[in-house]
Amino acid sequence: MPTIRWARRLDRGRFFAPAVVGILLLAGCGSKPAGPPTGPGGTKAEAPVLNVYNWSDYIAPDTISRFEKETGIKVNYDVYDTNEVLETKLLTGHSGYDVVVPSAFFLERQAREGVFLPLDRSKLPNYHNLDEKLLARLTANDPDNRYGVPYMWQATGIGYNVDKVKAALGGDVPLDSWALVFDPKYAAKLKDCGITFLDSPPEVLDSAQIYLGIDPNSERLEDLAAAEELVKKVRPYVRYFHSSQYINDLANGEVCVSVAYTGDALQARDRAKESANGVNIAFLVPKEGAVFEVDMMAIPADAPHPDNAHRFLNYIMRPEVVAEISTYKKYPSGNAAAIAFLPPSVRDDPAVYPPPDVVARFKDHRAESLTYTRYENRAWTRIRTGR
Ligand code: N2P
């Protein structure tokens, strides 16, 4: 029963884990409620429900409904737009979610905290479709690829309105560099047409460190201070900090430069084209480099429906299913077999699948220690509040 209640809460987009724990305690079952009956093969039969928590703007329109139709499993689908929001829920526990999608460098430390269930590969026959080179690269974050299945990948770079930026900067246009947002000389000129930053400390501070030539994986406090100082200097020119609002705002010309995830900037490009509003959006991976991220589907250790979760992961690993997500959302997937299912307009778009010289500028990210993150969060609060 509690599972269904949780699902209803998720349906409404509101979810209060403490309230659920309270209900369980009041019912006199502090740990687990009596489980559902045992099914054939000795495994517990799960309720036909799946609670998915994914990034916003990160799935195709029919992905979920097709899974529901095929399996009879009802999916409660919730979204977030920062790793930080997801992490708070995962570290608190009892999130109620069956599938979550942290970036690999977040999954790395969450796994150390015991947050995830090891994947059961026997339930993932489509696993062989995944890109082996990417899987090997990911073992730095997820040894033996134990907990995560790569979903989509991207760089954190700059989405911009080509015409407005050129108009604001005149002939002096560094359209290949983080200087566009981190050099006050340029940021001041772009203030009026609108600069936005992601609302995530590592995304912005690591990008600032890359601009400064500092290793973004550094945990030295003087390196953090250097990034803080840099971002504070341009803070007066930043219109807002938000990690998804910029898609629409770039698309309709409300803002002109966003520190952005690749696919989100490209969605803005597509939305502008569809509405034929004359807005021309491009994405740049700065010459100094950019943080490379792979978002990983994983199953929380306390997921109420781990079998359904495996079925969902296996479904997403079908090449034609994930290719459709890449087609709609302009993110390359971690599925090598999916490439054959992409329309040429996506497969051959160098902004979606960047050429090797651009990929060479991607910087892998390792987990931060929780202590360093605390310092980083304090710096972020100082930046955001302007103190
Ligand atoms: C989707 C953003 C996903 C990329 N809107 C963040 N890792």
- Can you list the domains of the chain with their CATH numbers? 3-148+298-317 (3.40.190.10), 154-292+366-385 (3.40.190.10)
pLDDT at 387: 74
With a 6 Å cutoff on the Cβ, whether 78 touches ligand 1 is no
Mutational test site, ligand 1, from 101, 262, 295, 333, max ligand atoms within 8 Å of CB: 295
Give the H/E segment covering residue 240: strand 238-241
pLDDT at 280: 97
For the chain, the straight-line distance linking the first and the last C-alpha, in angstroms and rounded, comes to 48
With a 6 Å cutoff on the Cβ, whether 264 touches ligand 1 is yes
Mutational test site, ligand 1, from 86, 105, 152, 271, max ligand atoms within 8 Å of CB: 152
**Residues 310, 120 contacting (CB under 8 angstroms):** yes
Whether 64 has a pLDDT exceeding 60, the answer reads: yes
Q: Name the residue with the closest Cα to ligand 1, atom 4.
A: 261
Average pLDDT over residues 305-327: 98
A 10 A CB-CB count for 54 gives 21
Q: Name the residue with the closest Cα to ligand 1, atom 6.
A: 261
Average pLDDT over residues 253-274: 98
With a 6 Å cutoff on the Cβ, whether 245 touches ligand 1 is no
Average pLDDT over residues 360-366: 95
Q: By three-state DSSP, how is residue 159 classified?
A: strand
With a 6 Å cutoff on the Cβ, whether 57 touches ligand 1 is yes
Q: 287 alpha carbon to ligand 1 midpoint, in Å?
A: 22
- Summarised one tens digit per residue, pLDDT across range 155-205 is 999 999 999 999 999 877 778 999 999 999 999 999 999 999 999 999 999
Residue 263's contacts (CB-CB under 8 Å, 6 or more residues apart) are: 57, 58, 152, 154, 329, 330, 331, 352
Task: Give the amino acid at 211.
Answer: Y
With a 6 Å cutoff on the Cβ, whether 55 touches ligand 1 is yes
Q: Within 13 A of 314's CA, how many CA atoms are on the CB side?
A: 16
Atom in ligand 1 nearest the alpha carbon of residue 264: 5
**Residues 90, 106 contacting (CB under 8 angstroms):** no
pLDDT at 83: 97
Q: Name the residue with the closest Cα to ligand 1, atom 3.
A: 55
Average pLDDT over residues 102-117: 97
Give the H/E segment covering residue 363: strand 362-363
Q: 81 alpha carbon to ligand 1 midpoint, in Å?
A: 7
How many whole angstroms separate alpha carbon 144 and alpha carbon 142?
6
Average pLDDT over residues 240-255: 98
pLDDT at 138: 97
Tokens of 234: 């341009």
Residue 345's contacts (CB-CB under 8 Å, 6 or more residues apart) are: none
Mutational test site, ligand 1, from 54, 55, 82, max ligand atoms within 8 Å of CB: 55
Q: 78 alpha carbon to ligand 1 midpoint, in Å?
A: 14
- Summarised one tens digit per residue, pLDDT across range 67-89 is 999 999 999 999 999 999 999 99
How many whole angstroms separate alpha carbon 184 and alpha carbon 76?
44
Q: Name the residue with the closest Cα to ligand 1, atom 2.
A: 55
How many whole angstroms separate alpha carbon 299 and alpha carbon 296?
10
Mean pLDDT computed over every residue of the chain: 90
Q: Which of 164, 124, 172 is nearest to 148 (CA)?
A: 124
Give the pLDDT band of residue 60 (cuts 50, 70, 90): very high
With a 6 Å cutoff on the Cβ, whether 105 touches ligand 1 is no
**Residues 155, 253 contacting (CB under 8 angstroms):** no
Whether 296 has a pLDDT exceeding 60, the answer reads: yes
Give the pLDDT band of residue 252 (cuts 50, 70, 90): very high
pLDDT at 43: 56
CA 352 to chain centre: 16
pLDDT at 132: 98
Give the pLDDT band of residue 122 (cuts 50, 70, 90): very high
pLDDT at 174: 75
pTM comes to 0.89
Mutational test site, ligand 1, from 58, 138, 141, 198, max ligand atoms within 8 Å of CB: 58
With a 6 Å cutoff on the Cβ, whether 295 touches ligand 1 is yes
Q: 75 alpha carbon to ligand 1 midpoint, in Å?
A: 21
A 10 A CB-CB count for 383 gives 23
**H-assigned helices in 217-286:** 221-234, 246-251, 262-275
Tokens of 384: 């955001």
Higher pLDDT, 379 or 3: 379
Higher pLDDT, 195 or 8: 195
Average pLDDT over residues 275-300: 97
pLDDT at 171: 75
Whether 8 has a pLDDT exceeding 60, the answer reads: no
Q: What percent of the chain has pLDDT over 90?
A: 86
- CA distances to 157, 267, 317, 332, 336 from 340, rounded to whole Å, are 27, 22, 14, 12, 8
pLDDT at 45: 85
With a 6 Å cutoff on the Cβ, whether 293 touches ligand 1 is yes
